[in-house]
Chain A
Amino acid sequence: MILILILYLVLALALFLIPKKLSKGIPFPLAFMQLVFFVFFISQLSLVETEKARIISIEWIPYLGLNLEFTLDGLSMIFVLLITFIGFLVFIYAQVYMKSYAGTTRFYFYLLLFSGSMLGLVLSTNFIQLFIFWELTSVLSFLLISFFNEKEKARKAAFQSLFVTGFGGLCLFVAVLLIGSIVDSYMFSDWLDKAHVIKSDPRYLPALIFVLIGIFTKSAQFPFHFWLPWAMQAPTPVSAYLHSATMVKAGVFLLARLYPVLGGTIEWDYIVTFIGALTMLVGSYLSITQVDFKLVLAYTTISALGILTMLFGIDTKLSVKAALVFLFVHAFYKAALFMLAGYISKQTGTRLIPKLGGLMKFTPWGFVIALISLLSMAGIPPMLGFIGKELIYEAKFDSPWMSSILIFLGVTSNVFMVAVSFLLLSKVFLGQSKTSIKSHNTKYKLLLFSPGILAFLSLGLGIFPDMLTPIIEPALNVIHSGNFQIKLKLWHGFNQILLLSMITALLGLLLFIILNRYKSVIKVWNRINSQIFSISFTNVFFKGLDRFISFSGKNTRLIQHGYNRYYIITIILYTSLLLILQLYLTRGWEIGLTFNLKPFYISGLAVVIAMSVFFSVFSKNIIFTISAMAVTGYGISLIYLYYSAVDLAITQIIVETLMVVMFVLVLQGLPKFASLSSRMAKIRDGVISLVFGTIMTIVTLKAITVDFNTSISGYFVDYSYLKAYGKNVVNVILVDFRALDTLGEITVLSIAALGVYSLLNKRK
C-alpha cells in the first residue's frame, strides 16, 4: 500500500520530466495505472473479508509515539475502490477534455497527487497523518479549482474553498489534539478501545463540535455549503472527480471512520441528523432554479452529501447500510452527469440550460447516458438510485426518533430531485434545438466513454445489486462492529416504502409539469428565493474578508507609519520606560560613589568632550559638526589611554581619523545641512534625549558599582603568558582565547564592506 502511495508521488513529480511532445499522451498510462490499482484492491477484497483489516505501520516519531499507520479495512476499501475507479475514468475523460488547454502537465500533476493523497487519507489510521492528507486534498482542490487562473472568478472561488476547507481543517486538527489528549494516542485502534472514555470526558463535546465543523466544511454541509457551487469554476474532470465523487466525500468518510469512536451519543445524533437533513433540503431546493448545468449538479451534490450525513446521524444499522449504498449510487450518476455536462459544453459552447435543447438528435448516446443517470438520480427503477432511495426511506422509517419528520423532509427533497431530473432531461435533450452542434466533432466522441461506463453501472448494478454486497458488507462490519449479512434487492415487494417512492415520483412529475408549463412559476420562485436567501453566503464571506483586510490595513498603517524618527522614538521611549521601572523597583538610584574631580586634567578633558558634543549637536555647519565629532572621538581615546587601555586608544584614534576622511569624501556629494524639523519637534526630541541620557547615566553608574564576576578576566590574565605566550592580554584574548569571536567580527566587517560595495558600485 505504501509503495502505491509513493508511486503516486514519484510519478506525479516525474510528469515534469516528460518532454513537451509526448505530454499529450500522459493520461492514458496514468488511467491504466489507476485501473491496475483498482484491480489490485479488488483482489484484496476477499482478504479484507476474512482478515478484517490489514495494517502496515512504520516508525515515524518514536519519542512521540507516532507511527505511520496504513489500514486497509472494509471502510477504506470502499473509498479506495471509488477513488481508483473514478480516477481511471476521469483520466481517460481528461485526455480528450484537457487537450486544448495549456499547462496540462501541471494539471495531471495536481490530479495525480490528489489521487494519491486521497488514497492516503482513507488509508490512514493515525489521525495526525490523516490530518496531513486531509489538508493536502484541500490544497490540491484549491490548485485545481484555480487551474484557469487567468479568470478572476476561478481565483476567487479557489480562495474561498481553500479558506473554508482550511478553516475546517484547523478545527479538525484541534479536535484530533483534544481527543489525542484524552486518550494519549493518535492511533485509531486506541481511540476505538477507549471510545467510552472519550464519550464520558468533559472534552468530548468540544472535540465533537470541532470534528463536525471539519467534516461539514469538507463535505459542504449547511452553512458551509456555499463554496461548492463556486468550485464549479474548475475544469469539468475536476468537478466530476473532486467535487462530486471523492474529496467532498472525505467528510463522509471521516464520519464513518469516527462513528464507532464518537457516535451513538445524543449530541452526535442530533447535530449530524439535523445538519444533514437541512443540507439535503437546501441543496435540492436551490437546485431547481439554477440555469447552469453544472450548478444544478453542484446543488444536487450538496443535497446528496446532506443525505449521507443525515444517514450517519440516524445511527442505525439500516441507515449506515443505506449510506454506503448511496455512496456508490451518487458517485456513479453524479460523475456521469458532470462528464456529460462537460461534453455538452464542449460541443455546443454553452452550459446554460435555457440555451440548450433538442440535443437528443445530435447525441443519441449522450441522451441514453443522461436518461439512465437522471433516472438513477430521481430514484426510478430499475436504476441503482432506486435501491439507494428505497434503503434511505427504510432507514428513515426505522429511525428511533423523529422518523415522521425525517420522512417528510426526505420526501420533499426527493420530489425536488425528481423534478430537477426531468427538467434537465426535457430542457436539454428534448424539445426544439436552439443551438446546433457546430461541426459535429467526432474527436469529442471519446468523452462519452467514461460517463457511458458509469451509466452502465448505474443500470447494471440496479438490476443485479447483489454485486455490491461483498464490498458493502465488510465496511458495515467495520462501522458497526459485528458480523452482518446483507442482501440488496431491486424488488422489495409492495410495502409502505414502495408506496412512498411512488408518491415521491408522482409529486415530482407533477412539480415538473407545473414548472415546465407555467414559466411564470419559476420566476415567482426565483423572487421568493431571493427574498428568503437575501443574504448570500458568498457575499457575506467576501465582504467579511474585505472588512478584515481594510481593518488590518488601517492598523498596519497606524503602526507602520513609515516615519523613521517615530520608530526610533517608540524604541527609545519604551526602553527608557523599562529602565525607569527597573530602577524604581530595585531602588537603583542609591549609588555609593563619591563625587570628585581628580585628576583635574581628565575633568577638563571631559568638559571639552561635553562641549564638543553640544557643538556638534547645535552647529549649522557640516564641517564644524564633523570636526566637533572628531574632537569627541579623540577625547574618548585619551580617556582610554589614561585608564590603562592602550590598544583601545590607538584603535580609536585611527578609526576616528579614517571616519573623518570618509565623511569628507562623501560630503562632496551630499547637500548642505538642512534644518528640517520644526521648533516643537526639536524641543520634544530634546526632552526625550535628555531623559534617555539621564537614565543611561544612572545605568552606567550602576554598571560601575555592580561587581561583575571577574573570574574569567582573572583566568585570562593568569594564563595569558603561561599558555598563550603573550604579554598583551587584550591581544591574546582577541587572537587566542576568543579567536572564534574575532573571526565572527572580521566576517561581519567583510560583509559590511561588501554591502557598501554592492550599494554604491557603479555597474559598467
Chain B
Amino acid sequence: MNSVILQIATRYLKVLFLSFACIAVIRGHNYPGGGFIGGLLAALYIVYSSLAFSVQQIRRQLKVKPQYYIGLGLLCALLSFMPSLVSGAPLMKGIWFTIDSSIIGKIKLGSPLLFDFGVFFTVMGVTLLFLFTLSNHK
C-alpha cells in the first residue's frame, strides 16, 4: 500500500498514538484503560504504520526487537512484586507513595502501576512478534 496520505499521517500520528497509549496505562487505575488496552493501542500504531509503509521497513526502523519488549514487560511485572517483598507485606500487596509537590500537585505512584507497565510492554511485544513473524513468512 503506497498511500502518501497514510504515510505522512502516520508520521504525525506517532506521537499522538504512543502518548495516548501511555496515558491509557497511567489513567487506567481510575478511568477506562490499563496495561492491556495501552499495549494493544501501541501495537495498533505499529500495525497502521506497517500498512502505510511495509512490515519490513517498520521492522528495520524499530531498533528494539519485540522479544526484548516481552522480556522487559515480564521483568517489570516481576519487579513490581519487589516492594511488597522488601517491606515484609504479603506478596503482591500494592505499595503506594505520594509525591506532593507544589508545582504539579499530588501524584500517587505505586507498584501496581509498574505492574501495569509490565502488562503493557508484554502485550505490545507479543503483538509485534505476531505481526513480524506472520508477515515475514511468504
Looking across the interface, which residue of chain B has its beta carbon closest to that of A727?
B30
Q: Is A757 an interface residue (CB 8 A)?
A: yes
Inter-subunit contact A753/B138 (CB<8 Å):
no
Within the assembled complex, what's the spacing in Å between the Cα atoms of A319 and B33? 90
Chain A residues in 8 Å Cβ range of B92? 736, 739-740
Q: How far is the CB of B83 from chain A (nearest CB, A)?
A: 12
Q: Is A756 an interface residue (CB 8 A)?
A: yes
Within the assembled complex, what's the spacing in Å between the Cα atoms of A459 and B37? 93
Within the assembled complex, what's the spacing in Å between the Cα atoms of A650 and B28? 12
Segment with Cβ contacts to B, from A179-187, A266-274, A388-396, A657-665: A657-665
State the main secondary structure of chain B at its contact with A.
helix
Given A661-B51, A739-B112, A746-B123, answer yes or no on A654-B44 (Cβ-Cβ < 8 Å).
Answer: yes
Q: How far is the CB of A193 from chain B (nearest CB, A)?
A: 53
Inter-subunit contact A727/B31 (CB<8 Å):
yes
Q: How far is the CB of B54 from chain A (nearest CB, A)?
A: 11
Q: How far is the CB of B36 from chain A (nearest CB, A)?
A: 6
Q: Is A724 an interface residue (CB 8 A)?
A: yes
Inter-subunit contact A728/B70 (CB<8 Å):
no
Q: Is B19 an interface residue (CB 8 A)?
A: no
Q: Is B56 an interface residue (CB 8 A)?
A: no
Looking across the interface, which residue of chain B has its beta carbon closest to that of A750?
B70
Q: How far is the CB of B12 from chain A (nearest CB, A)?
A: 20
Inter-subunit contact B108/A760 (CB<8 Å):
no
Inter-subunit contact B29/A732 (CB<8 Å):
yes
How many inter-chain residue pairs (CB < 8 Å) link A and B?
138
How extensive is the interface on chain B, given as a class?
35 or more
Chain A residues in 8 Å Cβ range of B30? 726-728
Chain B residues 1 to 55 lying within 8 A of chain A, measured CB to CB, are 28-37, 40-41, 43-44, 47, 51, 55
Inter-subunit contact B134/A760 (CB<8 Å):
yes
State the main secondary structure of chain A at its contact with B.
helix
Of A665, A668, A727, A746, the contact of B118 (CB 8 Å cutoff) = A746
Chain A residues in 8 Å Cβ range of B130? 662, 753, 756
Number of A residues, CB within 8 Å of B: 43
Within the assembled complex, what's the spacing in Å between the Cα atoms of A756 and B130? 7
Q: How far is the CB of A742 from chain B (nearest CB, A)?
A: 6
Inter-subunit contact A658/B47 (CB<8 Å):
yes
Within the assembled complex, what's the spacing in Å between the Cα atoms of A115 and B69? 58
Of B41, B70, B119, the contact of A735 (CB 8 Å cutoff) = B119
Within the assembled complex, what's the spacing in Å between the Cα atoms of A605 and B26? 33
Q: Is B60 an interface residue (CB 8 A)?
A: no
Inter-subunit contact A665/B129 (CB<8 Å):
no
Q: Is A647 an interface residue (CB 8 A)?
A: yes
Interface of B with A (CB < 8 Å)? 28-37, 40-41, 43-44, 47, 51, 55, 66-67, 70, 73-74, 77-78, 80-81, 92, 94, 96, 108, 110, 112-113, 115-116, 118-119, 122-123, 125-127, 129-131, 133-138
Interface of A with B (CB < 8 Å)? 646-647, 650-651, 654-655, 657-658, 661-662, 665-666, 668-669, 723-728, 730-732, 734-736, 739-740, 742-743, 746-747, 749-750, 752-754, 756-757, 759-762
A-B contacts, 7 listed (Cβ < 8 Å): A647-B37, A651-B36, A662-B131, A665-B134, A669-B138, A742-B77, A750-B74
